[in-house]
A and B are shown apart, each in its own frame.
Chain A
């Protein structure tokens, strides 16, 4: 009703009506329970209009059926359904006009009575919001045998206005609440998915990150340490997005953890999970999975790939190697075999990722692909593993991320070193024996093969002898210390002295083709060690010689070193 019309109607009404209208509006404006307010309103309307009964109908669902939502009178017709366009109430909505029927017997549209109530006259006003008709408000049988008149019609029209408003607001509120409920459900689902991701572990060589394109993700990753010291890992990508993909993701990740606990070879691991998923997955859903183990002692990665992008190996020299050897995604064909791969990781890094990482677009161009992803890696390569993954994610976010994205990085943590032992000696060649013994004992504990052990012992002996002979020049008051660290697959020897600083530039291996008695020590160190060099001491004078030997540990070594 327009403001002008309301004003026109209002001219004809008395102070009683104004009071009722004010009460109505007030009640609707302050209510928290619209259903209850509507019930009270219907009762008040019936009382005020001196009617035997009153009812509120609302259009329900797409069929346009009317449902009685509240009523007052001798017969409860709440829930009564009237087909679209039927009855006087239907006509009021169809014509969007108040219907005043003083004798229903003469009106062909009257739908009939319910529960023994005899309808004589009907006054029915449509409820119309900005989006069209939402229902109708009707009063039946004016008490005392009187008939509804034009004044009553205006009053009902007037009362229909706040009722409509209240109902519209209530619907809006309901929609909002429903949206809020769904949002909360998604939040819970997302939280549950997050809970399924592995907890952050200190010093773990495997780190992962998951970036959902929507609230919930079809991607997942997991890693856990086996009793033999190997770290099991997997990255998965469920086809599709949304709740169904999320539920399959939950199932797939649980199955993978369950089947990987025993350290089953990766090919059998995937085969087992594939067979299990195939028994339950329907509707063309499938899961791409890459799963495997990393052995921190041997530095070897072994894995199988079921449909995920190839594992990307970044070698210490900065070159990349894509290892493509895979089987089909899981959940498509039971009983199939998966190929397995092995690679020596050493000081390199392995990147495992879902296709979300390569299917991003930089501007309008094609997707960046694996080569583009390699460039992103190069841009963050200086960062620590976890910071690197975060850096990759923020680079991907800047592009048009279309899919869930999961990244995993397997890398020996270069910052964490394990102290194995050490020795302090005085500047006396007699002490060399002790140095050799100390080194030999540590390397034996790491089950380093005899030949390698002998060479390393020799190199350390040479370095120590050089300090005695050259740095201290035999000064019996000199002292030095040797500390031995394990850093991933490397053993680090730090030889510290407090002699006059040596000219590090002058200490170089000589040409071995010249057969002469002296100066062989540096050659031996250079040949045996993978890296060596002088560093400035943190405090005081002297020299720090750091020597690094990378070793191919066998998997029993960790146990042995703990036992030692």
Chain B
């Protein structure tokens, strides 16, 4: 079932949670980038929920990498949670699966 592309940010258990859905490609990856950087601006731990992402390309990955690097510079928590199989496959291909902190769920991210 095709899902509408987009992302929404909510606050949950003290986290800024960026919920992404659909196919992340060049057509809107800039929106995702902005959403992630905005979330990081809130000085709270940030989790990007990728459970509803059916596709991601390098521009989407770039948004994630930028968020990760920005958070690390500030000593802020940044993690990917509930990563779908298509996203994991691309992260593996780009050898980024061991770079990002990845958790099965927000709860597990919170426990870390």
Contacts and interface: CB of A to CB of B under 8 A. Distances in A.
A458 B57 contact: yes
20 contacts: A429-B26, A430-B27, A432-B27, A432-B57, A454-B89, A457-B55, A462-B58, A465-B26, A465-B57, A465-B58, A512-B94, A513-B95, A515-B68, A515-B69, A515-B96, A516-B69, A517-B65, A517-B69, A520-B61, A521-B58
Contacts of B89: 451, 454-455
Contact of B58 (A451, A515, A520): A520
Give me the 3 closest cross-chain CB pairs, A-B, nearest first.
Answer: A429-B27, A517-B62, A520-B58
Interface in B58-88: 58-59, 61-63, 65-66, 68-69, 86
Interface range on chain B (Cβ under 8 Å from partner): 20 to 34
A455 B93 contact: yes
Given A462-B58, A515-B69, A520 B94 contact: yes
Interface range on chain A (Cβ under 8 Å from partner): 20 to 34
B94 A524 contact: yes
A468 interface: yes
A520 B55 CA distance: 16
Contact of B26 (A468, A523, A528): A468
Given A433-B25, A517-B62, A528 B57 contact: no
A454 B99 CA distance: 22
Interface string A499-536: 00000000000001101111011011001100000000
A436 B61 contact: no
Contact of A458 (B27, B62, B68, B93): B93
A430 to B, nearest CB: 5
A517 B61 CA distance: 7
A267 B27 CA distance: 56
A521 B29 CA distance: 14
A495 to B, nearest CB: 15
Contacts of A457: 55
B49 interface: no
A469 B95 CA distance: 24
A524 B25 contact: no
Contacts of B95: 512-513
A461 interface: yes
